Amino acid sequence: MWDKLKAHHAQVADRSILSLFETPDRATGFSAEAGALLFDFSKTNIDAEGLSLLIDLAEDAGLAERREAMFIGARINETEGRAVLHTALRNLDATPVEVDGQDVMPEVLETLDRMEAFASDVRAGRFKGQGGAITDVVNIGIGGSDLGPAMAAIALKPYADGPRCHFVSNVDGAHIADTLRGLDPTTTLVIVASKTFTTIETMTNANTARRWMAEKVKDPAAQFVALSTAARRTAEFGIAAERVFGFADWVGGRYSMWGPIGLSLMIAIGGGDFRAMLRGAQAMDRHFRTAAPAENLPVLLALVGIWHHQICGYPTRAVLPYEQRLARLPAYLQQLEMESNGKRVSMDGEALQVVSGPVVWGEPGTNGQHAFYQLIHQGTEVVPCEFMFAAKGFESDLHYQHQLLVANCLAQSEALLKGRSLDEARAQVSGKFEGEELERQAQHRVFPGNRPSTTLAYPQLTPGVLGQIVALYEHRVFVEGVVLGINSFDQWGVELGKELAKSLEPMVTGEAEPVGKDSSTRLLLDYAKAKA
């Protein structure tokens, strides 16, 4: 099937995307809706034959069976022997989901209720710090224990009516120092979010926060909460069981914002809005599980990604939300997509026959327009762009600014599609220059166009819509992983650096000699020690 797709691509590669719009129903034929979302992929070079081949590719890879296996709790994370059940965290109807014959739903929903009770106590001032009602919450976590709630807390700012939420992730002391400066330890709640409760960055920052709190409060542990699968370690840290919110190993770190890892977000926006986010994700789960491939948003989004990266060979993709409050979505998707699908071998340990997942990057529009869009429009490498916009903003008194935002988003995908020809560029400068200078100046104003983009449109960034968007991307990553034949749910590629950091730490502190290190590492170690 890969060969067929590559042969099809060779046939259509020279065609302009714009020529596809000669068919009057191009946009309706190559867009799809699910829930509140509209996904338009008509501004790509995918035609009916290409789409049908891509769908065959996914079906041949066993997508339907793998998807069902995920939803019913089979151990599809084969290298770690785990089920993959983040979907159970938003299964609010409690339909049974079994792992090893045991329904996981009663415990999931009981934990959700406990989270909600605690969040509501904090928000209402019933749970107090030693100096009074909680004013600030500091979530200490990294990767999947940070990016989800941190991204969503910004995305859902219009719903945030609880204590202020802060997020500390980096082991760089600057992060926690800058965050704690100005906070009152007697009214601050610290949430230590770590699936394993061993991550060096998180545990180091948690200890720093405890020391900071101990300077001002008698019982710092009383203002600490733990979110983890490792009950024994949370107890060793001194956090009482009633403030530990546990989850099972079948929740992957980067898929975990729907459960206890989302507690900081729940405290910020409240249990009702948090559940609305879960319901949005649940609606996307149902759609993904049941819709035919040609109407299935996660499947389509994945297949467009595969077309651009594995077939067309475009090395990166840009996520460009025209929504300032989605400023952290690109970072969130970097972990989701690159930690999931940045793998060199297939599930059975064989080298991949095609390239793995792409580099994902991005920034909100319109900011990016004044920074890197130059390269997107005129650079020599094609960057498929994934635009997003809301029909409506929250700032009703600034409605015109929202209209301007939407116009900019649409302008960018149109510019990428159509470009500007040499003749049009000449016409633009003809009054100002002539002869050779006119030719030279005109060349700089040519836009090749014919650059692919997709657009995801939604009514407004409500909790439900955010849930739908994030679940859409989760399932997209899943589909891409199935097509590539890889395990999207482990992350062995992060281990080597962690091990080496352990061996280097005593060399940086001067407790050990740099034995066995290459000359570059020794040079840099010497510099770090000499200038410290």
Please give the positions annotated as active site: 339, 370, 498
| 63 vs 147 by CB, closer to ligand F6P | 147
91 part of the interface to ligand F6P, by CB under 6 A: no
Q: How far apart are CA 510 and CA 528, in angstroms?
A: 11
CB of 152 vs ligand F6P, minimal distance in Å? 15
Q: Which stretch binds ligand F6P (CB under 6 A): 1-9, 140-148, 293-301, 410-418?
A: 140-148
Beta bridge partners of 320: 387
| 87 vs 145 by CB, closer to ligand F6P | 145
Q: Which stretch binds ligand F6P (CB under 6 A): 13-21, 52-60, 124-132, 190-198?
A: 190-198
Q: Where are the beta strands (DSSP E) in 305-413?
A: 316-322, 359-362, 385-390
Q: Which one of residues 76, 84, 88, 142 is an interface residue with ligand F6P (CB under 6 A)?
A: 142
| 228 vs 453 by CB, closer to ligand F6P | 228
Q: Which stretch binds ligand F6P (CB under 6 A): 41-49, 189-197, 346-354, 417-425?
A: 189-197
CB of 172 vs ligand F6P, minimal distance in Å? 16
Q: How far apart are CA 481 and CA 341, in angstroms?
A: 6
Q: Where are the alpha helices (DSSP H) in 291-430?
A: 297-306, 329-333, 340-341, 373-378, 399-418, 422-429
Report phi then psi at 158, rounded to 5.
Answer: -60, -15
259 part of the interface to ligand F6P, by CB under 6 A: no
Q: Which stretch binds ligand F6P (CB under 6 A): 89-97, 139-147, 323-331, 472-480?
A: 139-147
Q: Which one of residues 94, 214, 391, 494 is an interface residue with ligand F6P (CB under 6 A)?
A: 494
356 part of the interface to ligand F6P, by CB under 6 A: no
Give Cα separations from 532 to 28, 146, 508, 526 (angstroms).
61, 30, 10, 10
| 57 vs 142 by CB, closer to ligand F6P | 142
| 195 vs 317 by CB, closer to ligand F6P | 195
145 part of the interface to ligand F6P, by CB under 6 A: yes
243 part of the interface to ligand F6P, by CB under 6 A: no
144 part of the interface to ligand F6P, by CB under 6 A: yes
Q: Which one of residues 139, 202, 310, 341 is an interface residue with ligand F6P (CB under 6 A)?
A: 202
- Taking residue 69's Cβ as centre, other Cβ atoms within 10 Å add up to 16
- Taking residue 93's Cβ as centre, other Cβ atoms within 10 Å add up to 10
| 250 vs 389 by CB, closer to ligand F6P | 250
143 part of the interface to ligand F6P, by CB under 6 A: yes
CB of 356 vs ligand F6P, minimal distance in Å? 17
Which stretch of DSSP H or E encloses residue 228? strand 224-228
The answer to whether residues 219 and 130 touch, using CB atoms and an 8 Å cutoff, is: yes
Single out the residue of 22, 50, 66, 3 nearest to residue 308, CA to CA.
50
| 411 vs 494 by CB, closer to ligand F6P | 494
491 part of the interface to ligand F6P, by CB under 6 A: yes
The answer to whether residues 376 and 383 touch, using CB atoms and an 8 Å cutoff, is: yes
| 31 vs 196 by CB, closer to ligand F6P | 196
CB of 501 vs ligand F6P, minimal distance in Å? 11
Q: How far apart are CA 202 and CA 401, in angstroms?
A: 40
194 part of the interface to ligand F6P, by CB under 6 A: yes
Query: Which residues between 419 and 458 bind ligand F6P (CB under 6 A)?
Result: none
| 169 vs 223 by CB, closer to ligand F6P | 169
How far out from the chain centre does Cα 126 lie? 34
195 part of the interface to ligand F6P, by CB under 6 A: yes
What's the token pair of residue 120?
């509501």
Q: Which one of residues 66, 86, 254, 317 is an interface residue with ligand F6P (CB under 6 A)?
A: 254
Q: Where are the beta strands (DSSP E) in 153-223?
A: 164-168, 188-193
328 part of the interface to ligand F6P, by CB under 6 A: no
Tracing tokens 């996914």 back to the chain, one arrives at 58
Q: Where are the alpha helices (DSSP H) in 181-319?
A: 200-214, 231-237, 263-269, 271-290, 297-306
Q: Which one of residues 196, 204, 408, 460 is an interface residue with ligand F6P (CB under 6 A)?
A: 196
Q: Rounded to the nearest 10 degrees, how much is the dihedral formed by the CA atoms of 428, 429, 432, 433?
A: -150
CB of 335 vs ligand F6P, minimal distance in Å? 7
What's the token pair of residue 213?
């709190």
What's the token pair of residue 263?
């507690």
Which stretch of DSSP H or E encloses residue 525? helix 519-531
Pairing of strands 37-40, 453-458: antiparallel
* Residues counted in the chain: 532
Q: Which one of residues 253, 259, 393, 463 is an interface residue with ligand F6P (CB under 6 A)?
A: 253
388 part of the interface to ligand F6P, by CB under 6 A: no
305 part of the interface to ligand F6P, by CB under 6 A: no
Q: Which one of residues 42, 44, 45, 199 is an interface residue with ligand F6P (CB under 6 A)?
A: 199
Beta bridge partners of 138: 166, 190
Q: Rounded to the nearest 10 degrees, what angle do helices 48-60 and 297-306 cross at?
A: 100
- List contacts with ligand F6P (CB under 6 A): 142-145, 194-196, 199, 202, 253-254, 339, 491, 494
